[in-house]
Amino acid sequence: MSKYNVNKFKQITVALNTPFDQKGNVDLEAARKVVDYFCNKGIKQMYVCGSTGEGFLLDTEERMAVTEAVVSQAAGRMNIIVHVGCPDTRHSALLAEHACKTGADAISAVPCVYYRMGEESVYAHWTAITEAADLPFFIYNIPQLTGFQLSMGLFNRMLKNERVAGLKCSSDPVKDIMKFKTAGGKDFLIFNGSDSQFIAGRLMGAEGGIGGTYGAMPELYLKMDELIKREEWKKAHQVQEQVNQFVSRLSSFPSMYGAVKSIISLDGCKIGNPRLPFLPVSLDDPELILLYHDIRNAIEETKIL
């Protein structure tokens, strides 16, 4: 059972798209501006250097620099959860220790990637990360990318670790959320990970969400969260339908990360292109411009809900 109170983390959590300059270098000044941009939209929590943040395309020093910039800029305004997962345990633990010293609010990690590790290896990997930092640790289960499906046996072992405070559940089906929440108990936090199943995940027991498309339309996710808390599920369903159409359209571009970054840039917060091999999406693309305006119109329309 976790020793931490997770109530402050029950938030709509934007997964930060790491900004790059025209030469492809991490743009720390732009990262600070992104923090302000989302703060002004009402976001109170960010997930840094994860999949959306192109964390596996950054070296260790870059990840540390992004963490430092974001944590310092967000101080007192946002919770910052730092994804510290690396292919190896040593660097993961190093990033966890650094996040703690920097002042992050929590850490998170996927299992080891590329190599198909067994449960004992993943248990050792996650345990070493928790030992490196006295912070709430959120397991990140995303088998479609890692090739590792979190079993109930391993999950129950991890629950005995007092620093394990929650789980980001991006696996299919959505009923996995209920399974993990039931085992974890009322004080264990589940983040919904599938953007297109946001309200379904909340019905199954998730009390927050972290997503890769939140950055393109944070207002719509905040609206769904508001409607769910008011138990106005039909209205939440209405917003989810719009969100799902936008997720599909974002996914139709050469890279979703490139499309989300370009939507954010069109909205006045310039964050550059993704790092190769993720492909850029031109700000002049007519389909992107149309999508941007459709998102803005939907945000205006749903304000009255």
Give the CA dihedral 251, 257, 263, 266, nearest 10 degrees: -140
Cα–Cα distance list, 299 to 17, 64, 294 (Å): 21, 34, 9
CA–CA gap between residue 122 and residue 111 (Å, rounded): 6
Residue 3 structure tokens:
């020793």
Write b or e for each residue in 241-261: b if 16 or more Cβ atoms lie within 10 A of its Cβ, otherwise e. ebbeebbebbeebebbbbbbb
CB 67, CB 97: distance < 8 Å: no
* DSSP character string of 184-201: H-TTSEEEE--GGGHHHH
- Report yes or no: 84 and 67 within 8 Å, Cβ to Cβ: no
Question: Token pair of 29, please?
Answer: 């000044």
Question: Is 121 buried (19+), middle (13-18) or exposed (0-12) by CB count in 10 A?
Answer: middle
The dihedral region occupied by 118, where left means phi > 0, alpha psi between -120 and 50, and beta the remainder, is beta
Q: What is the number of alpha carbons within 13 Å of residue 212 lying toward its C-beta?
A: 21
DSSP three-state, residue 207: coil
| DSSP SS3 for 239 | helix
Give the C-alpha distances (Å, rounded to integers) separating 236 from 13, 230, 231, 239: 18, 10, 9, 5
Residues annotated catalytic, as ranges: 140, 168
